[in-house]
Amino acid sequence: MNTPITEEELKRQLLGTLEFDFRKTPQNATDNQIYKALSTIVVNHLKEKRHKFVTQMNSIGAKQVYYISMEFLMGRSLKTNLFNLGLNETAAKVLKNSLDINIDKIYEQEPDAGLGNGGLGRLAACYMDALATCGFPATGYSILYEYGIFRQKLEEGWQTELPDDWLPGGGVWLMPVPDQAIEVHFEGEINEYWDKEYHYISHTNYQTVHAVPYDMFISGYDSKSVSKLRLWKAQSMSFDMGAFNQGNYGIALGSNNIANALTKVLYPNDNHLEGKSLRLRQQYFMCAASIGDIVMRHMNTYGKLDNLHEKAAIHINDTHPTLAIPELMRILLDDCGYSWSKSWHIIQNTFAYTNHTVMAEALETWDQSLLQRVLPRIYSIICEINRRYCEGLSNRLDDSQKVERLSIISNGKVRMANLCIDAAHSVNGVSRLHSEIIKESVFKEQYEDKPVKFKNVTNGIAYRRWLLQSNKPLTDLLSETIGEGFKKDGHELQKFRLFENDMSVLKRLSEIKQINKQNFAKWVKKANGVNLNIDSIFDVQVKRLHEYKRQQLNALNIIADYNYLLEHPDADFTPKTYIFASKAAPGYYLAKQIIKLIWCLSEELKRNEKIRDKLMVVFLEDYCVSLSEVLMPAAEVSEQISLAGTEASGTGNMKLMLNGAITLGTYDGANVEIHEKVGDDNIFIFGMSTPEVNVMKTNGYSPEGYYNHNNVINAAVNRIYHGINGVAFPDIGDSFKFTDRYMSLADFDSYRTAQSNVSQAYNDKKRWNKMSLINIAEAGIFSADRAVTEYAETIWNLI
Ligand SMILES: *Cc1c(COP(=O)(O)O)cnc(C)c1O
């Protein structure tokens, strides 16, 4: 890759920026000022490069991709952008030679941009990187949350949440564009009237909030293209003089209050709906601003909206941005004066929707009355969309109960997924299994009605972030063995399989893992004061805390091991270190209990001198993208143990596989495709399959039988009841014994057997290293580059 800036030039710019922006010399600048100065240089470079790219794309009338998502879990930007621009080594040299500073210290200055909860938000971030790398002209849209996902601190093992005040350090990546602000209207009244064949709508007495764009640029790797993420910040008009002059003080000040709260904080729920009016307002705010922006940009180029669907693909990431659909409809009808059918044709050829979950509690519905009050015009459009949809269904199906089940509005609720499925030309799941489940269960009837809409695009990750940028020793080994091609094309990782029986490469691989474990152990020692046994298996479960992900199953197995070791202290036992990191939604009671349980387990084991070298648990605080980058290279076992049929895809599984960890998982989400790639011998699959889960549910699942008749389960659950580290967990005990919604006890024996197979495989070093090599070699398919290319070909019609 050619470097766009020489060492001399970068040095000149850095010294100049320090001088002009901070009045500092390299000698008296702080690390934070150097971080900001270097970032500013990168931002300006990206902005310039983006401008060139957009100009070129516009000159050929290229179709644009607009990716709308309530979440973008970006993590840090400096290292990845320098890297993707081919500037990381130049920057490191400048800092070393001119300032005698290690660039890693400068990277550490940057806070994570945590504008997301977990997998869904990280997926959107990975796609911005891949879209740029693959040269697709893309703009992401989201909210500029003043506070991202909370920082997690444990106090005696209880999760506490601290505000994530990221803008003081993260703000350097944002370019404000105040002259492209958009007005967004809330509440008020609508008046509809007919004059001859024309249908007029007026919306009055609304509250106005200004959406001000802040742009973040994302470099592609070795590419001409740069993605733009446009984040909207709410600002009240400084003062609503019109309302004030009419004596309407309430409205004059009221819009102020709404604007202040609107983009304050990210809702910290993962896979769970919170039907609050502020959340609805956030969603509409983002949608109205983004659609307004798309329309303005299109009008500037083409002067009309008739061809919008030919020049723009709008993607909505889960149902959170659904209101973009009626908002565009509003503009086409009310502002352009297009007919309903012309407008609807544009809508249906513009929007595509990705579904992220089939679990009932996460499917979005909004109270009809809330929508009607907050967004009266949008509500009336949704009613008309629904009326026409149901009319069409009645004609096609002649089954009124079925029409009721598919209806967008039902029982006082607006079902957002049903609206998306009607309006979008494409509905996709995020792994092969998940996409099949969509067609067979939750959206079966919609699938039967319009089968061609339903598609699959298996998730992918920005693999360079977790390999080239996080695991240098492994990257160097790959370069030596298979050349440099894998850096641009993930599929080339497969060449590594040529070395699966090469003893010297396998030995190198195991040495690299040992080095990474040692580095990670140093990091843990510094962060937690705990000494890890680096000769034990590093068994990793890092992801949001959720019952369906079954951290409790992992904990139960550890407790069973603990019981065993208490009875057989001198038994031959393969040492294991269980590493957890996970945030719980602040209002999720049982999830917080499970964190406390795992923490108590770690404390009790730590105190037992006889056991702690064989069995250890650590819970790392504040799981975030940056922590994942430190952790993945050191992982050996990847716990992906959700109940089959519940995890849509998972992407943590991909990051871990890429770093040579072996998946211990259920036949769920993308684990199915990982299994297909690596084969039976290179993965540990356990537990019920989705059809087996369904049979068990149909027959009426009862966990109590397992509790009563399985001695190992009984003793482990009883320990949870009676106390760990002096704390009893009756609610977790009861949830195993009486509810067990995600059937941990039904899968327990199978999980335990799989864990013992892991130990056995690990003790055969050659076998294990070969497994690890094969996982690395087969991870290329899970590249986000592959995923966005599939979207471009099969959904956005870009190619
Ligand atoms: C990748 C990632 C996730 C998703 O992990 P899953 O195991 O797929 O749920 C969540 N949070 C962070 C910070 C990540 O990097």
CATH (domain of 677)? 3.40.50.2000
Q: Using a 6 Å cutoff on CB, does residue 465 contact ligand 1? A: no
Q: Using a 6 Å cutoff on CB, does residue 119 contact ligand 1? A: yes
The per-residue pLDDT for range 410-432, each reduced to its tens digit, is: 999 999 999 999 999 999 999 99
Residue-number span of the structural domain to which 116 is assigned: 7-179+212-233+263-365+417-459
Same domain, yes or no: 352 and 474: no
Residue 605, pLDDT score: 98
Nearest of 81, 90, 80 to residue 7 by alpha carbon:
90
For residues 146 and 584, the answer to whether their CB atoms sit within 8 Å is no
Q: Is 356 a catalytic residue?
A: yes
Q: Using a 6 Å cutoff on CB, does residue 627 contact ligand 1? A: no
Q: Using a 6 Å cutoff on CB, does residue 650 contact ligand 1? A: yes
Same domain, yes or no: 434 and 542: no
Same domain, yes or no: 147 and 28: yes
Flag whether 738 is in a domain: yes
Among the candidates 396, 426, 459, a domain finishes at 459
Q: How far is the CA of 691 from the centre of ligand 1 (A)?
A: 26
Same domain, yes or no: 454 and 489: no
Q: How far is the CA of 553 from the centre of ligand 1 (A)?
A: 19
> Per the structure block, which two tokens stand in for 513?
């893992």
Same domain, yes or no: 556 and 447: no
Tally of domains within the chain? 2
Same domain, yes or no: 615 and 512: yes
Q: Which atom of ligand 1 is nearest to the CA of 669?
A: 8
Residue 195, pLDDT score: 66
Cα pseudo-dihedral 428, 466, 145, 370, rounded to 10: 20
Distances (CA, A) of 339 to 303, 309, 343: 18, 16, 6
Same domain, yes or no: 165 and 46: yes
Same domain, yes or no: 513 and 445: no
For residues 641 and 751, the answer to whether their CB atoms sit within 8 Å is yes
d(CA 461, CA 469) in angstroms, rounded, equals 13
Q: Is 196 left (phi over 0), alpha (psi -120 to 50) or beta?
A: left
Residue 208, pLDDT score: 93
Q: How far is the CA of 113 from the centre of ligand 1 (A)?
A: 14
Q: How far is the CA of 73 from the centre of ligand 1 (A)?
A: 10
Which amino acid residue places its CA nearest to atom 11 of ligand 1? 118
Ligand 1 pocket mutation, candidates 151, 357, 543, criterion most atoms within 8 A of CB: 543
**Per the residue annotation, which of 549, 583, 596, 612 is the catalytic one?**
549
Same domain, yes or no: 330 and 471: no
Residue 253, pLDDT score: 65
Instruction: Report which secondary-structure segment, H or E, holds 192.
Output: strand 189-195
Among the candidates 459, 486, 510, a domain finishes at 459
Flag whether 451 is in a domain: yes
DSSP code, position 538: E
Q: Using a 6 Å cutoff on CB, does residue 506 contact ligand 1? A: no
> Per the structure block, which two tokens stand in for 738?
């009486």
- Strand pairing category for 351-354 and 151-155: unpaired
Nearest of 311, 309, 292 to residue 301 by alpha carbon:
311
**Per the residue annotation, which of 203, 655, 677, 786 is the catalytic one?**
655
Same domain, yes or no: 505 and 567: yes
Residue 196, pLDDT score: 63
Residue 240, pLDDT score: 64
Q: Using a 6 Å cutoff on CB, does residue 152 contact ligand 1? A: no
> Per the structure block, which two tokens stand in for 637?
């076992």
For residues 662 and 681, the answer to whether their CB atoms sit within 8 Å is no
For residues 743 and 696, the answer to whether their CB atoms sit within 8 Å is yes
The per-residue pLDDT for range 190-218, each reduced to its tens digit, is: 988 776 666 778 899 999 999 999 999 99
Same domain, yes or no: 724 and 769: yes
Q: Using a 6 Å cutoff on CB, does residue 686 contact ligand 1? A: no
Among the candidates 406, 438, 459, a domain finishes at 459
Flag whether 397 is in a domain: no
Flag whether 301 is in a domain: yes
Flag whether 28 is in a domain: yes
Flag whether 199 is in a domain: no
Q: How far is the CA of 652 from the centre of ligand 1 (A)?
A: 5
Q: Using a 6 Å cutoff on CB, does residue 121 contact ligand 1? A: no
This prediction has a pTM of 0.97
Q: Which residue has the tokens 């036949």?
A: 667
d(CA 785, CA 788) in angstroms, rounded, equals 5
**Per the residue annotation, which of 80, 319, 350, 651 is the catalytic one?**
651
Nearest of 536, 554, 539, 580 to residue 716 by alpha carbon:
554
Q: Is 543 a catalytic residue?
A: yes
Q: Using a 6 Å cutoff on CB, does residue 114 contact ligand 1? A: no
Instruction: Write the single-letter amino acid at 554.
Output: N
Q: At what angle do helices 277-302 and 249-262 cross, to 10 degrees?
A: 90
Q: Using a 6 Å cutoff on CB, does residue 142 contact ligand 1? A: no
Q: Is 455 a catalytic residue?
A: no
d(CA 499, CA 219) in angstroms, rounded, equals 33
Flag whether 186 is in a domain: no
Flag whether 401 is in a domain: no
Q: How far is the CA of 651 from the centre of ligand 1 (A)?
A: 6
Same domain, yes or no: 359 and 468: no
Residue ranges in the chain modelled with pLDDT below 70: 2, 195-198, 237-240, 250-256
Residue 606, pLDDT score: 96
Q: Is 23 a catalytic residue?
A: no
